[in-house]
Amino acid sequence: MCADPKSQVPPIFALLTDFGTKDHYVAAMKGVLLSDCPNAQIVDVTHEVQPQDVLEGAYLLDCVYPHLPPGTVCVAVVDPGVGSDRPGLVARIAGRLVVAPDNGLVGYVWSRYGAEDAVCYHIDEATFRRAGVSATFHGRDVFAPVAVRLARQEPLSALGPAVPEPVLLPTQAPKRRGRALVGQVVHVDRFGNAVSNITEDALTRWLRGLRAKRRDVWVIAGGAAIRGLRRFYAEVPAGEALALIGSGGYLEVAVNGGSAAEVLSLKRRDTLALHLPAPMARRRPGGRAASAPWSRLRWW
């Protein structure tokens, strides 16, 4: 049995992958965990990360991370470099543990909580690999066995050398371009809301630097110009586009009662930019249309 020796509480594993549920991959990982920890609880965060989309996986891990019980062992596998020399990672961040490839998947969690007594180590795979390890399935043969060892209270330092921080993706954070803040869509949820990589903290810092308010912001996305940030979806009429900070703490574009992905043709990796003030009025003085590209925008 696996349990905290002090409290005897069964371990909690939280799984996030891009494996989907059509194939056997998720069940194989769970089988390894339950074979060694039959009393464990397993939380399926999601297995529907778009294949090999590390940035989307990092966003989804960040959204769920603070809501998992302290001591949870998160096993995150979105691993296009599996079998290569990219290292595996174990980290203790904000009272929880993470096992993942060190490819940027832990980047958002580290950036948000890394100052809170966090440590991370690269996995020395030679010290614990299962017999018959597959070079293409480290989730089963490397990360799941490491998670078991963590659940048994093995020190992180016993798993490999310490590193100062995990890999951070260069596309993780939005960029300043003049007075604009430019990000990208990292996730489209089931409702068609297009979530960007602009966190509420990044938005607040940008506004503070320009001495501006949220109501002054123009959000340019999918050929639309959306004025101001709202607090909730029904704050605008049905069918109207809006921008707001979603429940995960990231700026998103939505359509009340509809799908921003469909109405505005938004998809992952599309640019989303914040401007102060409006990039250009709808029409110039004298009735002449605004010059491209703003003349082609739909205004909300």
> How high is the mean pLDDT of the chain?
90
Residue 189, token pair as written in the block? 């949820």
* Spatial separation of the C-alpha atoms in residues 166 and 33, rounded to whole Å: 24
Q: Which residues pair with 250 in a beta bridge?
A: 199
- State the pLDDT confidence band at 9, using cuts at 50, 70 and 90: confident
The arithmetic mean of pLDDT across residues 191-202, rounded, is: 97
The arithmetic mean of pLDDT across residues 130-148, rounded, is: 89
Residue that is written with structure tokens 């029409």 in the block:
283
Provide the pLDDT for residue 280: 47
Mark whether 207 and 142 lie in a shared domain.
Answer: no
Mark whether 183 and 68 lie in a shared domain.
Answer: no
Among 163, 192, 226, residue at a domain's last position: 163
Q: What percent of the chain has pLDDT over 70?
A: 89
The arithmetic mean of pLDDT across residues 254-259, rounded, is: 98
Provide the pLDDT for residue 285: 36
Domain count within the chain: 2
Provide the pLDDT for residue 131: 65
Provide the pLDDT for residue 7: 60
**DSSP state letter for 61:** H
- State the pLDDT confidence band at 4, using cuts at 50, 70 and 90: low
- For residue 124, what are the domain limits? 12-163
Query: Mind listing the pLDDT tens digit for each residue in 49-65?
Result: 999 999 999 999 999 99
Distances (CA, A) of 88 to 77, 101, 124, 146: 10, 4, 8, 10
Structural domain includes residue 1: no
Structural domain includes residue 5: no
* Spatial separation of the C-alpha atoms in residues 73 and 99, rounded to whole Å: 7
Q: What percent of the chain has pLDDT over 90?
A: 82
Structural domain includes residue 207: yes
- State the pLDDT confidence band at 2, using cuts at 50, 70 and 90: confident
Residue 204: φ, ψ to 5°: -65, -45
List the one residue out of 155, 148, 115 whose CA is nearest residue 130: 148
Residue type, 23: D
Provide the pLDDT for residue 126: 76
* Spatial separation of the C-alpha atoms in residues 76 and 101, rounded to whole Å: 8
Query: Mind listing the pLDDT tens digit for each residue in 25-39?
Result: 999 999 999 999 999
Residue that is written with structure tokens 């580290």 in the block:
110
Mark whether 179 and 155 lie in a shared domain.
Answer: no
Contact of 279 with 294, CB cutoff 8 Å: yes
- State the pLDDT confidence band at 290, using cuts at 50, 70 and 90: very low
Question: Is pLDDT of 289 > 90?
Answer: no
Give me the helices (H) in the chain, please. 25-36, 54-64, 107-113, 138, 144-151, 200-210, 260-263
Structural domain includes residue 7: no
Among 137, 163, 189, residue at a domain's last position: 163
Mark whether 158 and 260 lie in a shared domain.
Answer: no
- State the pLDDT confidence band at 230, using cuts at 50, 70 and 90: very high
Task: For residue 270, give every residue at least 6 positions away whose Cβ sits within 8 Å of its Cβ, in sequence order, or none.
Answer: 184, 185, 194, 221, 222
Q: What is the CA radius of gyration of the chain?
A: 22
Residue 158, token pair as written in the block? 């016993």
Among 112, 129, 163, residue at a domain's last position: 163
List the one residue out of 61, 65, 44 whose CA is nearest residue 53: 61
* CB-count burial class (<10 Å; 0-12, 13-18, 19+) for 198: buried
Mark whether 184 and 212 lie in a shared domain.
Answer: yes
Question: Is pLDDT of 161 > 70?
Answer: yes
Residue 45, token pair as written in the block? 């965060």
Structural domain includes residue 110: yes
Question: Is pLDDT of 268 > 70?
Answer: yes
Which has the higher per-residue pLDDT, 97 or 297? 97
Query: Mind listing the pLDDT tens digit for each residue in 11-28?
Result: 999 999 999 999 999 999
